[in-house]
Chain A
Amino acid sequence: MSNRVETDVVIIGAGPVGLFAVFELGLLGLNAHVLDVLDKPGGQCAELYPEKPIYDIPAWPVISGKDLTDRLLEQIKPFLPTFHFNDLVTGIEGSVEKGFTLSTECGKTFFTKVVVIAAGGGSFQPKRPSIPGIAGFNGTSVFYAVRERETFRGKDLLIVGGGDSALDWCLNLQPIAKRVTLVHRRDNFRAVPNSVSKMKTLVRQGKMDFIVGQVSKLCGTGGQLQSAVIKTKEDAIEMTCDRLLPFFGLTMKLGPVSDWDLELDGNQIKVDTATFSTSKPGIFSIGDINTYPGKLKLILSGFHEGALMAHAAKALTHPEERVVLQYTTSSKNLHKKLGVA
């Protein structure tokens, strides 16, 4: 994929609300690129509660977070959205007259007529422990995600956590690392039982180590980690290691949203409820990230906001056209767009 993209709309956030906006925009002939810092679509529904039931989606007496995401993906498929995952939108420049330029952490640039901020509770970021001295090792010896597996070849790794990420990376990196030590606060795991038993087998075979404890201190110089102190029930042990991989799950950070010069109310973007426009024309905001009198942070409210936003975005980008409301049930034009004609 080229690093320069031109499009009608960029949607920031692939949560349920960002996904449904693809549909509403698509009905009006606007094509969208969708970005998310997560590695998958679904936002909170996918990251926080894929298996939990939701009972207040109209016409779905009960649906899980994962199923809702899958259904939305199926519904928006005819509109061919392009997804860009694992990337954070950092900058928005421009105006409705000249168009907007978006930049991302991975160095992509998007040229777009309108921007839709559907950033939910903020961008999902790894939970970072504030172990004394850790900041000096971030990006050189401490990593919260594995982007290139090969960079861990021959390294002495300390992996921390008890969920799927921690266990998966233990198993995945063990064959190429010099040594892998898993540190977790207890001898019970949230990770799927199959990975846990594989890890325990490796420990029994002497191919990796497991310590019940918590990392309390890091030692090293010039960004190069040399050892870590692990507090166990009985005492504290110092272990040599040159890479630390903490996996404590994700937390939502407002992040760059606050740098985009939009009128905010606390951590929320203020919008006009007729158009869901922010204080900057051409930049819209829908879903959990926005606020207005009476706002309810519900998925169904976000869907409604997406429909109104799409009509306003169409009117803004195509002032010469009269935007008419058509029903998906009967409109031949919409049937063509939906691929059911």
Chain B
Amino acid sequence: MKLIVTDIDKTLHEVDFKEDDILMHVLRDANMGILAECGGSCVCATCHVYVDQEWLSKLDGIGDDEEDMLDEAYEPNGNSRLSCQIQLSESHDGIKLTIGPKWD
């Protein structure tokens, strides 16, 4: 199964994933430029991604902790998610997303 990732330089990548993988781990291991400073504990917002509109509804809803933590992401919008809070499955094969911009 594959993710279609647009990185910070707007380059497109296809990245493999398996059932039950955490999106942040997949992006980090593929060197997609995700910092994930807190290792997936939902306390740093440095794993921010924008999920393409058509795929948003296929993800589990956003939790309160994640919504709160998005306050510390750079330029969040309605498509923003924290990738450490997303568990992937079969229904996400082909999901399109963009890596969030970095803080200075």
For residue A49, which residues in chain B have a CB less than 8 angstroms away from its CB? 38, 41, 43
* A residues whose Cβ falls under 8 Å from a Cβ of B: 44, 48-49, 52, 121, 127-130, 161-163, 184-186, 188, 190, 214, 248-249, 251-252
The answer to whether A251 touches B37, judged by C-beta atoms less than 8 angstroms apart, is yes
Give the complex CA separation of A251 and B104 in angstroms: 10
Instruction: List 9 contacting pairs A-B, 8 Å CB cutoff, sorted by A.
Output: A48-B38, A48-B41, A48-B43, A127-B72, A129-B75, A130-B101, A185-B71, A251-B44, A252-B37
- CB proximity of B64 to chain A, nearest CB, Å: 9
The answer to whether A190 touches B68, judged by C-beta atoms less than 8 angstroms apart, is yes
Give the complex CA separation of A124 and B74 in angstroms: 17
For residue A163, which residues in chain B have a CB less than 8 angstroms away from its CB? 71-72
For residue B74, which residues in chain A have a CB less than 8 angstroms away from its CB? 127, 129-130, 248
Residue of A nearest to B101 (CB): A130
Could you tell me the dominant secondary structure of chain A's interface residues? Answer: loop
- CB proximity of A233 to chain B, nearest CB, Å: 10
The answer to whether B103 touches A128, judged by C-beta atoms less than 8 angstroms apart, is yes
For residue A185, which residues in chain B have a CB less than 8 angstroms away from its CB? 70-71, 76
- CB proximity of B8 to chain A, nearest CB, Å: 12
The answer to whether B75 touches A214, judged by C-beta atoms less than 8 angstroms apart, is yes
Q: Which of B46, B72, B101 has most A Cβ within 10 Å?
A: B72
The answer to whether A249 touches B72, judged by C-beta atoms less than 8 angstroms apart, is yes
The answer to whether A129 touches B41, judged by C-beta atoms less than 8 angstroms apart, is no
Residue of B nearest to A162 (CB): B71
For residue B71, which residues in chain A have a CB less than 8 angstroms away from its CB? 161-163, 184-186, 190, 248
Residue of A nearest to B69 (CB): A190
Give the complex CA separation of A128 and B76 in angstroms: 15
Residue of B nearest to A122 (CB): B37
Is B26 an interface residue, CB under 8 A from the partner? no
Residue of B nearest to A52 (CB): B41
Q: Which of B44, B46, B68, B69 has most A Cβ within 10 Å?
A: B44
